[in-house]
Structure 1
Amino acid sequence: MANSSQRERLRAAQVADQKRRRVRVGAAIGVGVVALVAIGAMIWSSLGAASPGAVRPPNATAAGDGIVVNPSTAQPNAPVVGLYFDYQCPHCVTFEEKYGLTLNNLANAGDIELVHHTKVFLDKGNADGLSHKAANAAACADVAGVYKDYHQGIFTSAYQGAYTDELFRVTLPEQVGITGEALTTFQACYDSKTMASFVQGVEDAAAKAGVTSTPTLMINGKAQDLSTLPDDVSQLKSFIDAAAKG
């Protein structure tokens, strides 16, 4: 009887030990699964950060065909003024010089929604051309929150000769106040051509919209005859309002 009882106690101990081992193995597997899920989540998050949507500037239009200069400022039913230009276009430089400040003032006041559609057709397909570089830099400046000032800086610099990487990476950022980590981020955006797909998308959308020359001014989607624009810039709002109604 004694031996029988001893064997039963030993057997019970073995069964209990096996149960404890199964619990430990199950816990280890559970921890492993949780770790794999966490790693997977981090990888998914990283991929998401590099998704096509992430390479758009923050103030891109919903269609991805331009950049809204005055987001959340335009009054309800304000005319949408779309300006198509190429940063290497001489006529665009003179247009900006004459009408740019007035358009910006109307945008700041909420009288219009101003959208810039930056074309790069003067590069003739060269993705490393100066039009592409300027458009990419401007889009990166939107990420830095200084798009409008940077845009104006590009056109002002057009009178100083051909654009350069030094201008886009160092001179203009300094002028518009991009410094520290923001400058590092901006330069990385510029150097890696982060906005290349967005820039090309804007060009493709402009071509699809039938825009074949620059500058082109559209009011509520209708191209305007630039020769009819008022010479007196103080009358530009009245011209835009009339065109929007027509």
Structure 2
Amino acid sequence: MGGAERTARKRRQQQLTGKQAVARARGGPDRKKTAAVIGVVLLVAAVVIGGVLWTNASKNATEGQTIPTVQPASTDYEVRRDGLVVVSGSADAPTTIDVYADFLCPVCAQFEHSYGDEIERKVAAGELRLRTHMVPLLVEKSDPPGYSLDAANAALLAADAGEFTAYHDSLFAHQPEEGKRGYDKEQLIQLGRDLGIESQEFADGVREGRFDDELTAEMERVAQDPALQQDFGNGQRGFGTPTVVADGRIVDFSDPQWLDKLVSENRG
């Protein structure tokens, strides 16, 4: 092999070695990049799966729960069902209020938390008669839909069994979250049992939805009643819960003294 050949061969080897070095240099970051991408994908997948599991657990938080019972502040007064309305207190009471509420409505629960005990005490004292209208306004707002209707139906049946007030107060004290799972019919039946309602008539009425058709029709009527329409701002008017009516007019209960003032007016 002559000197020229050796020189050419050496040059080729140097070029090949250089290309291999470049390839190795390029390959390193590519492998690191691929590993990083895989790591990110796995992390995102873990976050998504974790989020789905958390969402499902949150959505179904009421599943398998026993609804805790709550006893009313006062019970020394008559409670009876009059059609789809539950009337509490004496017919001779100087003041009567009608309360329209939905068992899934969070503002209704806040209303009960703020004024429920006070209302019951005034009913027991003979100062107030309470007419409770349970309206399934949010029947589509539970998952699955229907809790508002099931709860309203069960409460009417509890009234027939003599346990309306405790049943009503228990459902509001432990209200499911709007947009998520409510309580199913068996849970509503168990609440009745825990309050002492042992009749098969109650359980069958809950399962069959005894008052469902009437409650649905009443909801449609109430929603169209001009006397129950309120101004929600931005030109929007309609029916909402809770709505309190006294002497044919809607009561503004944003004033913490609204009930005392109302009772005082009629007492005088």
Provide TM-score, normalisation by structure 1. Answer: 0.63
- Give the C-alpha shift of residue 239 in structure 1: 1.6
- Give the C-alpha shift of residue 169 in structure 1: 1.3
Matched-pair identity in %:
26
Contact 2:176–2:183 (CA under 8 A) maintained in structure 1: no
- Give the C-alpha shift of residue 86 in structure 1: 0.8
Contact 2:109–2:175 (CA under 8 A) maintained in structure 1: yes
More helix by share: 1
In structure 2, C-alpha distance between the alignment counterparts of 1:108 and 1:205, rounded to whole Å: 31
- Decide which structure has the larger Cα Rg and report it: 2
Q: Which of 102, 116, 119 is equivalent to 1:103?
A: 119
Q: In the alignment, does 2:168 pair up with 1:168?
A: no
Q: Which of 158, 163, 184 is equivalent to 1:141?
A: 158
Contact 1:119–1:203 (CA under 8 A) maintained in structure 2: yes
Contact 1:82–1:117 (CA under 8 A) maintained in structure 2: yes
- Give the C-alpha shift of residue 125 in structure 1: 9.8
**Mapping of 1:1-246 within 5 angstroms?**
59-61=80-82, 64=83, 66-70=85-89, 73-76=90-93, 78-124=94-140, 129-158=146-175, 162-170=182-190, 172-179=191-198, 182=199, 184-207=200-223, 208=225, 209-211=227-229, 212-230=239-257, 237-242=259-264, 244=266
- Give the C-alpha shift of residue 121 in structure 1: 1.4
Aligned Cα root-mean-square deviation (Å): 2.8
The size of the alignment, in residue pairs, is 175
In structure 2, C-alpha distance between the alignment counterparts of 1:229 and 1:201, rounded to whole Å: 33
Q: Could you give the per-residue CA deviations for residues 195-221 of structure 1, whole angstroms, max 9, x where no partner exists?
A: 123322432342224241111111122
In structure 2, C-alpha distance between the alignment counterparts of 1:227 and 1:151, rounded to whole Å: 22
Provide TM-score, normalisation by structure 2. Answer: 0.58
In structure 2, C-alpha distance between the alignment counterparts of 1:205 and 1:221, rounded to whole Å: 17
